[in-house]
């Protein structure tokens, strides 16, 4: 079983987007579009658990790594996502080190965590590779904790010290809302928060991640020190392309 996250752990940037429609076709199209990873969004997206399974199956036939953003930190919920074959889990709204430790524990088998043990699951090829999967899961699975409140920024140094919190992922819209500066991505306080998150990640050898407002902003965030960058969703891509075509046709 190969470690899909070697590039990120070496400090090289990786790029992805969200899948919000619950569509396997979206996964197949975007999985082959050049992204390093895709994140199926169970927090805000339309996917059900069954949709998630079929999307992970579709993603396996593309170069993209399959990840899931869960809607809660529940241990049982996270375990099901992992058993289905997700190679990374994004946890929304992680406000302190205690929550971060619980997230990491849900990702790891005992004695390192409290993930439930089941052999005949898709992640281990239905048991055919369970020993290898279990042994290497600490390296092959990626834990992403979202920094998206003022409370999380205040505690980001402690969050970053949690062993296994691989990516500190900033959610700009939630964070600016929490700070009372909704979508003001050039506001000095927001920029200070980004600097603090990146510095904490660097000190503790974590990756800093962020959802960039637009693809053209990528260089700006790379220069700030982010290496795990996402942009957009399948819904946004479809909407933007559709509007562009409709506008062009009406102007003809």
Q: Which residues are catalytic?
A: 44
Write the DSSP symbol of residue 146: E
* β-bridge partners, 14: 228
Pick the closest to residue 157 from 187, 182, 193, 131 (CA basis). 193
Pick the closest to residue 157 from 203, 213, 88, 91 (CA basis). 203
The answer to whether the CB of 58 falls within 8 A of the CB of 24 is yes
- Residue spans of beta strands (DSSP E) within 159-206: 167-170
* β-bridge partners, 91: 145
The answer to whether the CB of 85 falls within 8 A of the CB of 56 is yes
């Amino acid at each position: 079983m190969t470690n899909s996250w070697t590039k990120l752990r070496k400090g090289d940037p990786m790029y992805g987007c969200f899948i919000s429609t619950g569509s396997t076709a979206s996964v197949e199209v975007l999985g082959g579009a050049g992204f390093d990873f895709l994140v199926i969004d169970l927090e805000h997206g339309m996917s059900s658990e069954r949709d998630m399974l079929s999307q992970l199956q579709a993603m396996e036939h593309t170069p993209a790594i399959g990840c899931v953003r869960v809607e809660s930190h529940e241990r049982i919920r996270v375990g099901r996502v992992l058993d289905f074959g997700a190679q990374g889990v994004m946890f929304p709204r992680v406000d302190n080190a205690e929550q971060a430790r619980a997230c990491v524990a849900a990702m790891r088998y005992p004695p390192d965590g409290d993930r439930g043990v089941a052999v005949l699951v898709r992640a281990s090829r239905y048991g055919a590779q369970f020993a290898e999967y279990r042994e290497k899961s600490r390296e092959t699975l990626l834990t992403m904790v979202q920094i998206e409140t003022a409370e999380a920024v205040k505690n980001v140094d402690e969050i970053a010290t949690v062993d296994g919190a691989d990516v500190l992922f900033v959610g700009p819209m939630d964070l600016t809302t929490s700070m009372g500066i909704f979508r003001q991505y050039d506001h000095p306080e927001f920029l200070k928060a980004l600097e603090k998150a990146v510095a904490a990640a660097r000190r503790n050898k974590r990756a800093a991640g962020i959802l960039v407002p637009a693809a053209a902003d990528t260089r700006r965030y790379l220069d700030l020190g982010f290496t795990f960058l996402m942009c957009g969703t399948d819904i946004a891509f479809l909407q933007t392309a559709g509007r562009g075509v409709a506008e062009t046709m009406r102007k003809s």
